[in-house]
Structure 1
């Protein structure tokens, strides 16, 4: 059996390494390129609730970088309300979204003041809309006094400490 030339063995090693790299790189690149994001399929106007029907999926192409602070998944977008006009084919900035209002302006709400064991409840009218956690102004129906409070998950307003 003849002894192979040293350069022939080296060529085989280099060829094997190149083949392995050629197999690995496209797999990595295709996995990276398969990132799917959601963008508007039509114009979404301010105040409009975003639904899955107004969005379409697109696959990122290699080399294109997705900007920071953009919403690209259904969990981030479904049920949110547009703060500004969202154009088709463009990323959706998270700053252009808000939660849907839990209390509308002019709605009658229950206002609660809780301090230790003391709870005082009253009826008020909201002077501005709000989502849970938002600070809003309300007008007490009985006294006419304007109060500032936090919108709670149940739709009531908590004022005071």
Structure 2
């Protein structure tokens, strides 16, 4: 297992097809090369609901302040520029928590950009360990369905 950079409870924020927003409390874990979230604090070899590989091509986008049933949320979106539809959107009820997560994720991205420069801009592939992601994505994630639909329409 990679070294955990930061972890904690955040809100999983998204929109359904009919335009209504939803929020779910999720436990997010940021590792050296991976951002993942779980329904509860992960135990040994627990499979995450969704993961996002963090490399030098990732970006953290501040989506600003949103409201959900009267609750104010500060929203971040993390995505890879090569796969813009594979993203994780997370939020918090206070801006301090969002700023901490944004700083931690950007520092991990910066480390990978420095590694790419040190290697002469050569792409260093990341090898998944068995059982790390298990190829599973969350069926409840709005973005995951769009990615599957977008790929099938593109072919």
- Is the shorter-chain TM-score for this pair beyond 0.5, marking a shared fold? no
Higher RCO structure (Cα 8 Å, ≥6 apart): 2
TM-score range (shorter-chain normalised) is under 0.3
Normalising by structure 1, we get a TM-score of 0.22
Normalising by structure 2, we get a TM-score of 0.23
Whose strand fraction is larger, Structure 1's or Structure 2's?
A: 2
